[in-house]
């Protein structure tokens, strides 16, 4: 246990000596920057940490998003609009080309288009 404690002290010092912009919260990047000979225990722990499955953060985020939207809207909109807003919020990292949306909308005879992700 003393070896691990000493490695942790040196590991902490190694990362605090780096400028903040060079520090990464990514486990795989920390593992690639870890000298396996010098930090054998920390290297092993980082490998274990990198292989752990992700928890239920994504579904919980989805439910909290829906709760936040419902609270904001207070049932003032229809179910279709609520579903659309929820999808927009949950999938906000998807890049949408505005030109493509405008072209698709302008080419339709009917002005109501269902956009499906």
Could you read off the pLDDT of 8-22 as tens digits, one per residue?
888 888 878 878 777
Task: Please determine, for residue 103, whether its predicted confidence score (pLDDT) is greater than 60.
Answer: yes
- State residue 7 phi and psi, 5-degree precision: -65, -40
Distance CA 59, CA 108 (A): 35
Q: What is the pLDDT of residue 62?
A: 73
Task: Please determine, for residue 117, whether its predicted confidence score (pLDDT) is greater than 60.
Answer: no
Distance CA 18, CA 23 (A): 7
Greater confidence (59 vs 106) lies with: 106
Other CB atoms within 10 A of residue 27 CB = 14
Q: What is the pLDDT of residue 108?
A: 75
Average pLDDT, the chain: 77
Q: What is the pLDDT of residue 74?
A: 65
The token duo for 98 is: 């505005």
Could you read off the pLDDT of 59-100 as tens digits, one per residue?
667 777 778 777 776 656 667 777 777 788 888 888 888 888
**Among candidates 11, 48, 3, which has minimal Cα distance to 27?**
48
Could you read off the pLDDT of 21-67 as tens digits, one per residue?
777 777 778 878 787 888 888 888 888 888 877 665 566 677 777 78
Integer-rounded Cα radius of gyration of the chain: 24
């Amino acid at each position: 246990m003393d070896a691990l404690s000493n490695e942790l002290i040196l590991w902490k010092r190694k990362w605090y000596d780096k400028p903040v912009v060079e520090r990464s919260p990514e486990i795989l990047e920390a593992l690639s920057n870890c000298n396996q000979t010098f930090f054998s225990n920390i290297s092993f722990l980082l490998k274990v940490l990198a292989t752990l499955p992700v928890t239920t953060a994504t579904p919980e985020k989805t439910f909290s998003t829906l709760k936040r939207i419902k609270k904001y809207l207070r049932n003032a909109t229809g179910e279709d609009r609520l579903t659309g807003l929820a999808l927009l919020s949950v999938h906000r990292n998807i890049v949408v080309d505005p030109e493509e949306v405008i072209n698709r909308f302008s080419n339709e005879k009917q002005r109501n288009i269902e956009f499906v992700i």
